[in-house]
Amino acid sequence: MAVTIRDVARMAGVSVATVTRALSTPEVVRPTTRERVREVASSLGYHPNRAARGLITGRTGNIGLLVPDLANPFFPSIVKGVQARALEADHAVFLADTDEDPDAEAGLVRKLAKQVDGLVLCSPRMAEQELRAVAREVPMVLVYRRIAGVPSVTAEFLDGMRQALSHLVALGHRRIAYVAGPRSSWANRERVRSLRTVAKQAGVELVELGSVTPQFQGGVSVADRVLAAAVTAVIAYNDLVALGLLHRFAARGVAVPDDISVLGFDDIPLAAMVHPALTTVALPQGQAGQAGVDLLLDLLNKRDRAVRRELPTQLMVRGSTGSAR
């Protein structure tokens, strides 16, 4: 026989209304009562009816998540982080892939907004004006994009670039290329800005190339231009681009890192699997997804919390970087 809300209330020694509040709007219930109700509900295997709860709270219990490219190994880890944290909060996740298309992204946002309580947009490509318009209509959190006044989760790009450049400078590199990502990418703009700053401080000659698609083929397409630039090292917008560079360099008989050093960004799983293994700046992925859901839940529950989080980065030194020739 199915467990009902009355069974939970009777065993917890509280009213049905208190059980409802503890499970739907826990912030209005005393912590001790809330935990007792949750423990009883868990022990009995009680799961509230989402539709019925929605009638009471006015919420769907759903979160919308948009990513620009699920084929990019960087984003599935963020998705898993979002799903794990949403599950803990008893929310379902509706996932959409925008295929790096700002117009498709705008259309999906409008469709999802009608079916969810809030949105988590990962590396959105839409213009700032459009994103602000969405934020006025539905609770929204940005992951790896920052707009003033909109809750966001980003990484310490400046520190990441400082780690990367300091590593290359210590190896003797003084003329370094940067292969840029999409012009519409906020993360790319931040990486360029950060790299220019640290390159100037270090007295490094920076050669900027791109923009390229943030995929393997993007790196392949720009590799010959990197070699023609007569640099001793190259920093790629992301690891997929860096892997494309490695592939083309090998095809041309260019040894990495003996002839040229290659450094990526993201630390996707493939970075450690190739030969030589890719030196890269690791960005938080699962942690960023979880932080995005936390900010969204704070927004939905009108909690007075910080609307901006910056997560640390870490340089992963592997075989694709070596002393300048």
144 and 162 part of one domain: no
37 vs 12: CA distance, rounded Å: 6
Task: Report the pLDDT averaged over residues 131-157.
Answer: 92
CATH of the domain at 258: 3.40.50.2300
278-324, pLDDT tens digit by residue?
Answer: 999 999 999 999 999 999 998 888 765 558 899 999 999 999 999 99
Kindly state whether residue 28 falls inside one of the protein's structural domains.
Answer: yes
23 and 172 part of one domain: no
38-64, pLDDT tens digit by residue?
Answer: 888 888 877 766 555 554 455 678 999
What is the edge-to-edge ordering of all strands in the sheet holding 233-236? Answer: 205-209, 175-179, 233-236, 261-266, 279-282, 314-316
Task: Report the pLDDT averaged over residues 130-136.
Answer: 90
84 and 136 part of one domain: yes
- Number of structural domains (the chain) is 3
Per-residue model confidence (pLDDT) at position 55:
45
Kindly state whether residue 11 falls inside one of the protein's structural domains.
Answer: yes
Kindly state whether residue 171 falls inside one of the protein's structural domains.
Answer: yes
> What tokens appear for 13 in the block?
């020694």
169 and 247 part of one domain: yes
**Beta bridge partners of residue 266, listed in sequence order:** 282
Kindly state whether residue 134 falls inside one of the protein's structural domains.
Answer: yes
179 and 224 part of one domain: yes
216 vs 281: CA distance, rounded Å: 17
What's the DSSP call for residue 45? T
90 and 181 part of one domain: no
141 and 78 part of one domain: yes
CA 151 to the chain's CA centroid? 14
Domain that holds residue 20: 5-57
Kindly state whether residue 175 falls inside one of the protein's structural domains.
Answer: yes
130 and 249 part of one domain: no
110 and 173 part of one domain: no
- 223 and 212 Cβ atoms separated by less than 8 Å: no
Kindly state whether residue 225 falls inside one of the protein's structural domains.
Answer: yes
Amino acid sitting at position 106:
A
Amino acid sitting at position 91:
H
129 and 220 part of one domain: no
Contacts for 178 with CB less than 8 Å, ≥ 6 apart: 191, 192, 195, 206, 207, 208, 209, 210, 234, 235, 236, 237
Q: State whether residue 263 is helix, strand or coil.
A: strand
Per-residue model confidence (pLDDT) at position 151:
93
Range in 104-118, 176-190, 222-236, 300-314 the model is least confident about? 300-314
Kindly state whether residue 238 falls inside one of the protein's structural domains.
Answer: yes
What's the DSSP call for residue 278? P
Contacts for 104 with CB less than 8 Å, ≥ 6 apart: 98
